[in-house]
Amino acid sequence: MSSDESEDEYGHVVFELGSWSTRAGMAGEDAPSVIRPTYIPESVDNLERTELDYTKRFSPDKFEHLLNLCYSELPVKDPAGHGVIVIEPLSVSNASRELALQILMDTFQVPSYYAAASPQMSLYASGRGSGTVIQCGHAATETMSIYEGYLVPGSLMSYPDNSGRKVTSLVKEWLRKYITTETAYGYDVCVNAKEENVSLLQDEFHDFSLPDGKLVNVSPQMKSDLSSCIFGGDHGVAKMAYHAVMAADIDMRRDLFCNVILSGGASLVKGFRETFLKEIRKESNVRHTENLKINAVAAPERKYNSWIGGSIVGSLTCFQGAHISKELYEEVGPSIVHRYCFNYGNVKMGDFV
């Protein structure tokens, strides 16, 4: 059976390599069926995690172990019968890209491989061909502008100081006053509080309960600290989005401003969209572009936007010829991923103001 026949019959497996969690499932599904933490716990009681760092050359053994865990929960009898789509963060290193391809081809014997950028897949999940994506991930906030299917040069940015990890750390500090010697709140509790309970809206006041029943008061100071972390400073999320749009030619900007896509787990903080619009309009007024209409889309399923976009792409018949085949990999080697898939060599890591 040829690789193309195998993929037509059995379908692609879609992996999203996040720094907090790894999502996996079959192309064409509405949501990932497997969500596993992308970390190695130091100990049962340790709140911190040792993550697979895709910005460097990660451990092959740990990555292979993670893939085995994912495949064990998928409706896949043999990985060799399914091509894969791997969704990567913009900050992924060249060494990590090559290693991921090498392990999936050599160890799991997949017949085909394709690597895609996380913000790019988030745009496709929204059903748009043009837009600016703000990918608010655990390790970094990333931006990408695409116009009519083409990348806007200079719009790629990745910055860690307004990431989900930073926001979760703030929440963890707030919760310390509620911890006694008999109780300890794990990192997952802090993440859930960030995504489901804390609000950026100053006129919205409420308390929420921790698993042991303690009530936490969401004070104005908590809201202010959270807003400063996400939107403050020279590399705030709204400023990143503004510069990602302004990197485009002037005749493209109107469409990009009208189609800003908010994506990733950190964008689930209540009031994120409202605060984002307020901040980017403020930035627009300062830069004298206040006449442009600005709209931000925050879909309910935005935590998994990237994976959903990969699922859509993997189910398209026109995608079948876009992947790296087993034959091409064996002929060229792991470096083929840089020539055949999107190249992240021009990602700005902060200094864009």
SS (H, E, C) 51-68: ECCCCCCCCHHHHHHHHH
Alpha helices in 117-163 (DSSP H): 118-125
Which pLDDT value is given to residue 189?
A: 83
Q: What is the pLDDT of residues 284-299, one digit of tens each?
A: 887 666 677 899 999 9
Q: What is the pLDDT of residues 163-214, one digit of tens each?
A: 999 999 898 888 887 765 455 557 778 888 888 888 888 777 778 888 878 8
pLDDT at 41 over 90: no
> Does residue 159 sit in helix, strand or coil?
strand
Looking only at the bridges linking them, the beta strands covering 13-17 and 21-26 are antiparallel
How does 154-189 read in b/e, with b if 16+ C-beta sit within 10 Å?
A: ebbbbbbbbbbbbbbebbbebbeeeeeeeeebebeb
The mean pLDDT of the chain is: 86
Which pLDDT value is given to residue 220?
A: 84
* pTM as predicted: 0.88
Which pLDDT value is given to residue 45?
A: 46
Confirm if 329 and 336 have CB atoms less than 8 A apart: yes
Which pLDDT value is given to residue 176?
A: 80
Which pLDDT value is given to residue 331?
A: 96
> Does residue 111 sit in helix, strand or coil?
coil
Which pLDDT value is given to residue 210?
A: 81
In sequence order, what DSSP letters do the residues of 233-283 get, joined into one string?
A: STT-HHHHHHHHHHTS-TTTHHHHHH-EEEESGGGGSBTHHHHHHHHHHHH
**Ramachandran area for residue 163 (φ above 0: left; ψ -120 to 50: alpha; else beta):** beta
Nearest-angstrom CA–CA distance, 116 and 146: 14
Q: Residue 47: pLDDT band by 50, 70, 90 thresholds?
A: very low
> What tokens does 303 get?
């935590």
Which pLDDT value is given to residue 43?
A: 46
Which pLDDT value is given to residue 332?
A: 95
Q: What is each CA distance from 267 to 187, 242, 264, 300, 350, in whole angstroms?
A: 18, 17, 6, 10, 19
pLDDT at 351 over 60: no
pLDDT at 12 over 60: yes
| Alpha-carbon dihedral 157, 158, 164, 170, rounded to 10 degrees | -100
What value does the mean pLDDT take over residues 217-226? 86
| Cα–Cα nearest to 296, from 270, 263, 320 | 263
Which pLDDT value is given to residue 180?
A: 58
What value does the mean pLDDT take over residues 306-314? 95
Nearest-angstrom CA–CA distance, 200 and 222: 9
pLDDT at 243 over 90: yes
What value does the mean pLDDT take over residues 38-54? 58
Which pLDDT value is given to residue 111?
A: 95
Q: What is the pLDDT of residues 104-134, one digit of tens each?
A: 999 999 999 999 999 999 999 999 999 999 9
Tally of CA atoms within 13 A in the half-sphere of 172 that contains its CB: 15
Nearest-angstrom CA–CA distance, 88 and 306: 9
**Least-confidence region, from 47-51, 307-311, 319-323, 337-341:** 47-51
Which pLDDT value is given to residue 35?
A: 95
Percent of the chain surpassing pLDDT 90: 58
Higher model confidence: residue 70 or residue 201? 70
DSSP 139: S
251 CB-contact burial (10 Å; exposed 0-12 / middle 13-18 / buried 19+):
exposed
> What tokens does 13 get?
């497996």
Nearest-angstrom CA–CA distance, 282 and 77: 53
